[in-house]
Amino acid sequence: MKPGVTGLALLACLASLAASLPAPAGLVSPLRGVGELAFTADMPVFFDDHGSSHVHLAARVFERDLVRPASGVTKRLSLHMKLARAGFTAVDTVATIEFVSSDLADLGAGSWTEPFRLIEIRSPIEPGTWAVTLELRDRDGGTAVATGVLEVGPALAPRLSDPEFQLSTRNGTLPWPDRVYGINQDTLEVYFEVEGLTGPQTFRFEVHDPRYGLLDDQNLTLDLQSGRSATLWKLPVGDYPEGSYGLRIVPPFAAEEMPMKEFSISWRIDRALEGGDELLVESELAMLPKDHDRLLRLSRARQIELLQEFWNIVDPTPGSERNETRDKFVARIEDANRIYQSRRGPGALSDRGRVYVQFGRPREVDVEVMPRNGDELEIAIQSLHDIYSPEVEGVMARGDIYGDIGTGPRTTPINLPGAHAQGATTDFSSETASDLRRNAARVGREGGFEVWKYEYNGEPLLAHHRPGLAEQQHIRFIFVDRRGVGDFRLEYSNLPTRR
């Protein structure tokens, strides 16, 4: 073999390999932070000089988490990004922003999108598959966490960056981690970079429907210069139906399929306007736990679709413009958020908020603001059970109405309305005694308490929320503020125990 042939063959092999390798995959769908706070995040991968790459994290923080009711109150938010694999941490960094409520006018916002603020982090990253952990914190102790997987391909030329979805706002074009278009903006905008190509080059943009495959494709010819070229591609989506889609950019040098990126179209104002966790709060309160857990693992577009499918099933007037059941349910969430909002999170997810959303406004509320001793609460507990005959089981309902209604201590089976065993019985006197013993052990630590009284089963809007009591029975709840700081926890109820 002649000298140099092996080297030429190796170069040819490397060139062929580079031509067949896809671009850095980044995230297939956005990440959503869940907790007392909320955010959405996207992490496109871009190339640097000398064959290296960096990830650009853009996290959208929502107005609810930025401001306090009092004008001018500063809010500090810190976003912690960690990328790791096989016990090795490559990136561990924190970005912090200071925000004053009077700055709302300076926030990015589309025509229908609520004000928001971006927290951005740029960090070098090596090729490979990385476990992503993002945690948002404020100085009041609120948190939100998101996890995912980031794929980073080899930085071989010619190369195409990961696409970054963007939104036009009054402050210019910004990264748009939600990737939701439609009512808020009827043009899809994608930014990407190309390196290692010169002259006229044609790129193909494919839009895929997850059910029907390729929906649309367009060619874009770019006259590229040496070095790195940046391009913003736009696609009108005014004729696209609501739903989830996939975007694939195919460069002229790609011999294999490029990775797909999810985005969604929504023509409903309420969904386009929603902040970080409004949809998740709604699904947690409305859906069964297993269905809500499944929804949490889906992309934003699929979450919207799955929740809409749920409401379609319970729609009392299918085919009409309005779903009266959902309208009433969402109105209750809004009321609960307004009445019971605290630094712990949305008021609808507090113990009182959950009961309010599930059963409606109580017929009567007895409030004890400053009990002198444990006698007042003891009397309330006795009344809670004595309303019923001994054949009716009475028991505290700790944990959520969906498997965890309260946030207080738990020592008994958790009530699950609509899913408990029918006809189950328990000893009336032992249930009362158990509740009284628990209360006696806490004498001296009770603040105020509230007794909520409903007419019969209240007014649940969904079938699986009905407690299943006999018609002549009336549900009762006791919320106790053990610490005296307005933190009312559900501690006692006469709902049936799940067996």
> Residues 283-306: pLDDT tens digits?
999 999 888 888 877 766 677 888
DSSP H helix total and E strand total for the chain: 10, 23
Name the β-bridge partners of 221: 202
Name the β-bridge partners of 59: 41, 119
Dihedral Cα 381, 383, 388, 392, nearest 10 deg: 0
User: Is 8 inside a domain boundary?
Assistant: no
Q: What is the pLDDT of residue 333?
A: 93
What mean pLDDT value characterizes the chain?
A: 74
Higher pLDDT, 12 or 359: 359
CA-wise closest residue to 137 among 35, 15, 283: 35
Q: Could you tell me if 332 and 412 lie in one domain? A: no
The secondary structure of 220-276 as a DSSP string is: EEEEEPSSEEEEEEEEE-TTPPSEEEEEEEE-TT--SPPPPEEEEEE--HHHHH--S
Which ranges constitute the DSSP H helices of 350-466? 351-359, 375-386, 428-440
Does pLDDT of 310 surpass 90? yes
User: Is 442 inside a domain boundary?
Assistant: yes
Q: What is the pLDDT of residue 94?
A: 83
Structure tokens at 322: 């309005």
Find the domain containing 326 and state its range: 277-349
Which of 349, 371, 397 delimits the end of a domain? 349
Work out the angle between the directed axes of helices 289-296 and 300-313 (0-180°, nearest 10).
150
Q: What is the pLDDT of residue 104?
A: 43
Amino acid at 66: L
User: Is 72 inside a domain boundary?
Assistant: yes
Does pLDDT of 489 surpass 50? yes
Q: Could you tell me if 332 and 362 lie in one domain? A: no
User: Is 75 inside a domain boundary?
Assistant: yes
What would the pLDDT profile of 175-203 be if each residue is shown by its tens digit?
A: 999 898 887 788 999 999 988 888 899 99
User: Is 2 inside a domain boundary?
Assistant: no
Does pLDDT of 413 surpass 50? no
What would the pLDDT profile of 204-227 be if each residue is shown by its tens digit?
A: 999 998 878 888 899 999 888 877
Q: Could you tell me if 143 and 123 lie in one domain? A: yes
Q: Could you tell me if 246 and 366 lie in one domain? A: no
Q: Could you tell me if 453 and 469 lie in one domain? A: yes
CA-wise closest residue to 435 among 385, 476, 368, 482: 385
Does pLDDT of 108 surpass 80? no
What would the pLDDT profile of 444-467 be if each residue is shown by its tens digit?
A: 555 788 999 988 888 999 988 887
Which of 295, 324, 349 delimits the end of a domain? 349
Cβ atoms of 205 and 220 closer than 8 Å: yes
What would the pLDDT profile of 219-251 be if each residue is shown by its tens digit?
A: 999 888 877 888 999 999 988 888 889 999 998
Q: What is the pLDDT of residue 184?
A: 79
Q: Quick check: pTM over 0.75?
A: no
- 180-190: buried (b, 16+ CB within 10 Å) or exposed (e) per residue? bbbbbbeebbb
> What separation in angstroms does the CA of 14 have from each of 8, 145, 157, 160, 478?
10, 41, 10, 17, 71
